[in-house]
Amino acid sequence: GQCTQVCPAAAIVERPAIRQVREALADPDTVVTVQVAPAVRVAVGEAFGLAPGTNLIGHLCGALRRLGFDAVFDTDFAADLTIVEEAAELVDRLGTGHALPMITSCCPAWIRYVETFWPDLLPHLSTCKSPQQMLGAVTKNWWAQQVGIDPDRVVNVAVMPCTAKKLEARREEMADGPRRHVDHVLTTRELIRMLKASGLHLPDVPEETPTPMLSEGSGAGTIFGATGGVLEAAVRTVHTLVTGTELADPDVHAVRGTAGVRAATIGLGGRTVEVAVVHGLHNVPPVLQQIREGSSPYAFIEVMACPGGCVGGGGQPHGFDMAVRRQRAEGLFSTDAASPSRRSHENKEVATLRAALGDDERHRLLHTRYRATVTPHTGRL
Ligand code: SF4
C-alpha cells in the first residue's frame, strides 16, 4: 500500500480483520456496530466500476446492514465532534499561549512519527483522540446505555482508508479499562472483499440512512478525509467561537490545493492567525524544525501522513495516483458544498452528546495524552 512509502508506524502490513468481523457477526450474543470514515465512501465505488469521488454512503449503509451489522454509524459525526473539541482547545491555547502551534492528532501514523522522532514536540499535539476512537468510546460508554444494551456485548468495527488505524485501535490509551474503543478495523479493500464475497454489487444496493444518535454529519465533517479538510473545518468553528459570528463564506480557499505545505492567514475578528497544512511526512521536518527553534509563525497546523490526506490512505483500492486522489477529494468537497449544514458546531447530535456527557466524562472519553516512548500494542495488527 501507499503507507509503505510514508508511514513510520510499522502499520504497513495489512492483516485482514475479516475473519474476526465475520465471527462477531455470527455470534448471537453480540451487538456489532460499524462506522464508515469519510474517505472510504468516495473510493469504494472504484471496485464496482464507478468513477473516483462517487459518494456511496447511502449504498454503504444498506450494504452493511445486509452484511449483518446491527448499527451503522457515520465517522462524519465523530469528525464534527473532534472539531468542536479541537476548536475549543485551540481557542483556549490562543488565550493562554500554551504550546502553540497546536497540531492535529487524528492521523496515527503522524502521531507515531512525532513520538519516535520529535518527542520534545509532543505537547504541541492536540489532546483530541481521532474520530475513529471518539466514536468507539461513545458507542460503548453512552450509546449502549441509551439503547439499553450491556456495553460488554458491543463489538465496534471501523471501516477505514488506513492501515495505521489498525495500530491506533490497539494503543493502550484507546480503551476504557479492558473495553477497547474499537475492536476491529477493516480497510476499504477488506470491506470490498466482504461485499464481493457476499455477492453485493454496491451501486445496486438500495440506499439507507445511518443509525441515529451517532450519525449526523455536517459538510465540515465530510472534508476530514482530504488534505486541508480538518483545518478548514476547524477554522469555520474557531471563527464562530472567537468572534460570535459565522464565517461569511465557509469555503476556506486559502488552505485548499495539493502543495505539500500550504500556509494561510486567517482573520478572526480583530486579530489574525497563521495556519498551515502539511501532507506527506517528507514535508514535515522543516515545519517541525521551526517549532523546535521557536521561530514557527503558525498557531495551528494540520498534518496528514499520506499524500492527499486519507483519500490517499494505504487501505484504499490499489492503483491510484495524484489525479485519483484529487477526484476522491473533490467528491468530499462537493458533498460539503451541497450539505444543508457546513459547520461542525451546528451538529445537533454532537451538541446532545456533549451536554449528556458533562465535562469530566467528555474529557475522559474524548481526549488523551501521548508519551515519548513507543507505545506497545497488543497482539498482531
Ligand atoms: Fe491513515 Fe489518513 Fe493518516 Fe493516511 S493520512 S495514515 S489514511 S489517518
Q: Can you give the residue range of the structural domain that contains 117?
A: 3-366
Q: What is the pLDDT of residue 338?
A: 97
Known active-site residue 14:
no
pLDDT digits (tens, 9 = 90+) for 102-111: 999 999 999 9
Atom number, ligand 1, closest to the C-alpha of residue 11: 6
Q: Is 373 contained in some domain? A: no
pLDDT band at 380 (very low <50, low <70, confident <90, very high): very low
Active site residue 310: yes
Q: Does 164 sit in the ligand 1 pocket, CB within 6 Å?
A: yes
Domain membership flag for residue 283: yes
The catalytically annotated residue of 3, 61, 106, 306 is 106
Rounded average pLDDT over 73-92: 98
Domain-located, residue 134: yes
- 3-state SS assignment for residue 199: coil
Q: Give a yes or no: residue 272 inside a domain.
A: yes
The pLDDT value recorded for residue 344 is 97
309 CB within 6 A, ligand 1: yes
Q: What are the pLDDT digits (tens) for 196-246? A: 999 999 999 999 999 999 999 999 999 999 999 999 999 999 999 999 999
**Strand-strand pairing, 271-279 and 179-180:** unpaired
Asked whether residue 235 is domain-assigned, the answer is yes
CATH classification at residue 344? 3.40.50.1780
- Whether 137 is in the pocket of ligand 1, judged by its Cβ within 6 Å, is no
Whether 25 is in a domain gets the answer yes
CA of 311 to the centre of ligand 1 (A): 8
Average pLDDT score over residue span 43-61: 98
Residue 185 backbone dihedrals phi, psi, to 5 degrees: -115, 120
Catalytic residue among 129, 140, 165, 166: 165
Among 41, 230, 282, 304, which residue has the most ligand 1 atoms within 8 Å of its CB, making it the best to mutate?
304
Give the strand pairing for 184-187 and 154-160: parallel
Classify residue 267: in a domain, yes or no: yes
Q: What is the pLDDT of residue 374?
A: 54
Q: Would you state the cell numbers that stand for residue 155, as one nine-digit string?
A: 463489538
- Residue-level pLDDT at 14: 62
| CA 28/CA 360 separation, integer angstroms | 34
Catalytic residue from among 14, 173, 349, 361: 173
Tally of domains in the chain:
1
pLDDT band at 381 (very low <50, low <70, confident <90, very high): very low
* Residue 1, pLDDT score: 37
* Cα–Cα distance, 314 to 46 (Å, whole number): 15
- DSSP secondary structure letters along 200-268: --GGGSPP--PPTTS----HHHHGGGSTTHHHHHHHHHHHHHHHSS--SS---GGG-S--SEEEEEEEE
The reply to whether 378 falls in a domain is no
Q: What is the mean pLDDT of residues 300-318?
A: 97
pLDDT in tens, 328-353: 999 999 999 999 999 999 999 999 99
Candidate of 306, 328, 332 to mutate for ligand 1, largest count of ligand atoms within 8 Å of Cβ: 306
Q: Is residue 165 annotated as part of the catalytic site, yes or no?
A: yes
Supply the pTM of this predicted model.
0.94
User: Distance between CA 304 and CA 104 in Å, rounded?
Assistant: 9
Say whether 330 sits in a helix, a strand or coil.
Answer: helix
| 89 counts as catalytic | yes
Mean pLDDT of 186-202: 98
Q: Percent of the chain having pLDDT more than 90?
A: 90
How many angstroms separate the alpha carbon of residue 161 from the centre of ligand 1? 7
Kindly report the average pLDDT of the chain as a whole number: 94
Whether the link from the prior residue into 101 is cis, omega within 30° of 0, is yes
106 in active site = yes
